[in-house]
Chains A and B, each alone.
Chain A
Amino acid sequence: MPDAIVAVGTAPSLGVWDRARLRWGENVRIFVAGRIGVAGVALLVLIALFALVHPLLLATVWDPQIYDPMGGFTRDTALPAAPSWTHPLGLSRFGRDVLSQLMYSVRVAFGLGVFAAAISVSVGTLVGCLAAFYRDTLVDTLFMRLANFFMIFPTFTLLVALSGVAAIDLTRLAIIIGLMGGLGGITVVLKARALGVTVKPFIDAARIAGGSDLHLIVRHVIPNVLPLSFLYMMFTVTSAIFAEASLSFFGLLPNVRMSLGLMINEAYTAGYLGGPLLARYWYLWVPPGLAITLLCAAFYMIGRGFDEVVNPRLRERS
C-alpha cells in the first residue's frame, strides 16, 4: 500500500512530525470536502455543549434538591409528569427531572466512550506495531491468535456473561471494552498498516544510522499508523456507548447509578414502554434514545469523514 501513508510527505530532510504538520492542511481540506465528517464534528460540539451546561445550570438556576439527576425530587405532582415550563422534558417515575438526567447521562456516555476508545487505541496501536516490527516471532503469533479470538467473538454476549459473574462498574466496563477492542480488530488492521511501514527504506536508513528498536517504533512506525488509530478510536467510542446502554437497559450493571440505558430501563421495567402507554410517555424514552443515536452517529460520521483522509483510494479520481 504505497499510497496509504498519509502523514508522510515528500521532503526527506524533515522529521516525521514536521512532515505530518505539513500534511495537516491538506488532510483538513479532504476532511472538509467529504462533508459527512464536518456534520459529525458540528453535531458532536453541540452535544458536548449540551452536556457541559449541566453543572453550570445546577450551580446557578437549578435547585439541586429538585433537579439533581439522582436525588432530586418534586412534591405534589402525579408521577411521571409530562413536560412543563419548569421541567422541559417532564419528571421520571421517581420524580427526577428528565432533562437534568439526560444532560448528566450524556456526559457519562461521553466519558465512557472516550476512555474506552483511548484504551483500545493505545493498546491496539502498540500491539499492532510490535507485532509488525517483530513479525514472525513469538510475540507476533501470540498476539495475532489473541486478536483473531477477540475479533470474531460477540463482545456484547461476552459482556452479558461477565456481568452475571462479576459486578462491573463504569471504569471496569470501559477497560474491558477497551481491551477487547484493542487486542482484537484494531490490532489486526494496525499490524497490516504497520507492516507496510516497516519495509520502507527510511526504516532501514534509521536503523543504519544507529536507531534502536524502541526509537524506530516510537519515532517512525507509530507516527505513520496514527491516523488509522484515530479512525478506529471513533468506532470504538460508538460500540462502548452502545454496550453500556444495552447492559443498563437489561439492568445488568447494578453499580451504574445513572446513564442513558438506565433511563430507558427505568421506564421499561415500569411497563411504560412494552405496551400501549409508549406514546403517552414519550418523554421518558425519546430523549435518551435519541441521545444515544445522535452521540453514536456523531462519532460514526467523524470516523467516516476521517476514513476518506486515511484511505486515499476512497477519494474521487481526479
Chain B
Amino acid sequence: MTKYLFRRLMQSALLLVLVVTAVFLIFQVMPGDITTMIIDPETPPEARQALIERLGLDRPVHERLVIYLGQLARGDLGSAFPTATFRGGRPVTEIIIERLPRTIILFVAVVVLNYLIGFLLGRQIAWRRGTAGEFVPTAIGVVLHNTFTPVAGLVLLWLFSLQFRLFPFGGWQDFAIWRPFIERGLTSNDVFVPMIFSATFMTLWALLVFRATARMERRSIRRAARALGVVVCAAGAALWWERTGLMPLAFDVVHHMALPVLTLVLIGFASPMLVMRDSMLESMREDFVLTARAKGLSQRAVRNHHVARTALLPIATSFALSVALVVDGAVITETLFSWPGMGHALLRAVGEKNYPVAMGVVLTAGVAVLTAHLIVDLLYALIDPRVRHA
C-alpha cells in the first residue's frame, strides 16, 4: 500500500507540474502585446522600458515559467488587473480564498444529490430491465442530460422565482439579513466554511445510518430506524447552528443556492444513473447472484447486498471523471444565477481580459480535479485489493 501511495502521489505531482505549465503557456500565446494592457499608454518610453524590465517581461518564456513556478510554490498568484469586477487589483490568492468556498458548497451539494439519486434510480431501472420502469426514467434522464444548461437555468429561474415566487432571482445573499452581521465584520467565509463542514458531516452521517440499517429485513423497523437517524442528524446540525447564531445566514444561502443546485442536478443525475444501470447489468450476470437467489434470499437482499454492492466500483471511477463535468457546469450556472464563485470569476475575468484572475481560477480547477482524482484512486485501492497489488 505504501508503495502504491508513493507512486500515486508522484504521479499527481508530475501532473500538477504539467497542468501549471500548460496553463502558463496558454496565457503566453495571446495575441498582441501584454505591456500595452498593463502599462498606461501615456508612460514615456524610458519609464516604460524600465517597467518592462522590472516586471521581467523582457525575459524568455522558459525563464518566466521558472519564476512563475517559484512564486506559485510560495502561494503567490500575482495581482488582478483592476478591471470592473475586480476593482482595486487585489491579490489573486485573496480573490480565490474569498470565492472558493462558495463554489465548493455548490459543488458538494450537487455531487451528493447527483450520486444519491443516480445510484438509487440506476439500481431500480437495472432491476426492472425491459419494462416501463426502465424506459420512463431512462427517457427522462436522457432528455434532461442533453438539455442545454443555460436554457434549463433560465426556465427554472422564470418558473420558480417569477411565477411561483419560491426562490430569489439569482444572487447569493439577502442584504437585509446580512447587513447587521457584516457591520460586525463578518465575511462570507465565516458562513460558507462551516456550511461545507456541516454538509459533509451530514452526508457521512446519513451514509452511516443507511449502511447500519441495511440488514434490517423488516421494512417498518428499517424505515423507523432511518427516520430516527436522519432526525437526530438534522436536530444536531440545527442545534449547532443555533449556537453559532448564524442560522438565518445559512438559511439565506441555502435559499439562494436551491435553484443553481436544482439546475445542475436535473442535468447531472442521469449520468451516474446510467453508469449504475450498466454496472448492475454486468454484475447481475455473475454466478454468485444465481447462488444468492437459489439460497432463497429476498429480491431486495439480492439486489442491494449482492448486485449493487459489486456494482459500486465503476461508480467510483465515474465519480472521478464527473468532477470535471460538474466544474464545467458550475462555470455556466454560477454566471447565470450571479453566484459569485470561481466560475463566475472565470467568465468575468475572460470577458475583461483579466489574465491573472483567469489563470488563477483555471489552476485552482486543475488542482481541484487532481485532488479529487487522487482521493478516488486511494479509496479505490482501499475497496479493491486488486488495484494496490497490481
Q: Do A and B come from one complex?
A: yes
Chain A residues within CB distance 8 Å of chain B? 36, 145, 148-149, 151-158, 160-167, 185, 238, 242, 245-246, 249-250, 252, 261, 264, 268, 273-276, 278-279, 285, 289, 292-294, 296-297, 300-301, 304, 307, 311, 313-314, 316-317
Q: Distance in Å from the Cβ of A238 to the closest Cβ of chain B?
A: 7
Task: Identify which of B47-55, B117-125, B153-161, B241-249 touches chain A.
Answer: B153-161
Contact of A153 among B162, B351, B369 (CB under 8 A): B369
In chain B, what residue has the closest Cβ to A296?
Answer: B146
Q: How far is the CA of A165 from the CA of B28 in the complex (A)?
A: 8
Within 8 Å of chain A (Cβ to Cβ): is B285? yes
A-B contact pairs, 13 of them (CB 8 A): A153-B365, A161-B27, A161-B358, A161-B362, A162-B26, A164-B350, A273-B154, A276-B158, A279-B158, A292-B146, A293-B143, A313-B281, A316-B129
By a CB distance below 8 angstroms, the chain B residues around A153 are 19, 324, 365-366, 369
CB pair B148–A152 under 8 Å, yes or no, is: no
Q: A158-B362, A278-B155 are in contact. Are A301 and B355 (CB under 8 A)?
A: no
Q: How far is the CA of A129 from the CA of B36 in the complex (A)?
A: 47
In chain A, what residue has the closest Cβ to B144?
Answer: A293
Q: How far is the CA of A161 from the CA of B29 in the complex (A)?
A: 12
Within 8 Å of chain A (Cβ to Cβ): is B278? yes
Q: How far is the CA of A20 from the CA of B351 in the complex (A)?
A: 51
Q: How far is the CA of A142 from the CA of B106 in the complex (A)?
A: 35
Q: Report, as a range, how many residues of chain B touch the other chain.
A: 35 or more
CB pair B142–A301 under 8 Å, yes or no, is: yes
Query: How many contacts between A and B, using CB within 8 angstroms?
Result: 147
Q: Is the interface of B mostly helix, strand, loop or mixed?
A: helix
Give me 6 other A-B pairs in contact (C-beta within 8 A), A161-B23, A250-B332, A314-B282 excluded.
Answer: A160-B347, A163-B350, A164-B350, A246-B148, A264-B150, A274-B154
By a CB distance below 8 angstroms, the chain A residues around B285 are 313, 317
CB pair B29–A165 under 8 Å, yes or no, is: yes
Q: Distance in Å from the Cβ of B251 to the closest Cβ of chain A?
A: 25
Within 8 Å of chain A (Cβ to Cβ): is B31? yes
For the complex of A and B, list the 5 residue pairs with the smallest distance between their C-beta atoms, beginning with the closest. Answer: A164-B350, A165-B30, A156-B328, A289-B151, A296-B146
Q: Distance in Å from the Cβ of A87 to the closest Cβ of chain B?
A: 22
Q: How far is the CA of A36 from the CA of B141 in the complex (A)?
A: 13
Q: A152-B320, A165-B30, A275-B162 are in contact. Are A145 and B146 (CB under 8 A)?
A: no
Q: A149-B19, A278-B158, A300-B142 are in contact. Are A289 and B148 (CB under 8 A)?
A: yes
Contact of A149 among B18, B351, B355 (CB under 8 A): B18
Within 8 Å of chain A (Cβ to Cβ): is B321? yes
Q: Distance in Å from the Cβ of A246 to the closest Cβ of chain B?
A: 6
Q: Distance in Å from the Cβ of A203 to the closest Cβ of chain B?
A: 23
In chain A, what residue has the closest Cβ to B289?
Answer: A317
Within 8 Å of chain A (Cβ to Cβ): is B38? no
CB pair A300–B145 under 8 Å, yes or no, is: yes
CB pair A185–B321 under 8 Å, yes or no, is: yes
Q: How far is the CA of A275 from the CA of B355 in the complex (A)?
A: 31
CB pair A36–B138 under 8 Å, yes or no, is: yes
CB pair B22–A149 under 8 Å, yes or no, is: yes
Within 8 Å of chain A (Cβ to Cβ): is B346? yes
CB pair A276–B147 under 8 Å, yes or no, is: no
By a CB distance below 8 angstroms, the chain B residues around A273 are 154
Q: A149-B15, A164-B358, A297-B143 are in contact. Are A157 and B327 (CB under 8 A)?
A: yes
Within 8 Å of chain A (Cβ to Cβ): is B302? no
Give B262-297 interface residues, CB cut-off 8 Å to A: 274, 278, 281-282, 284-285
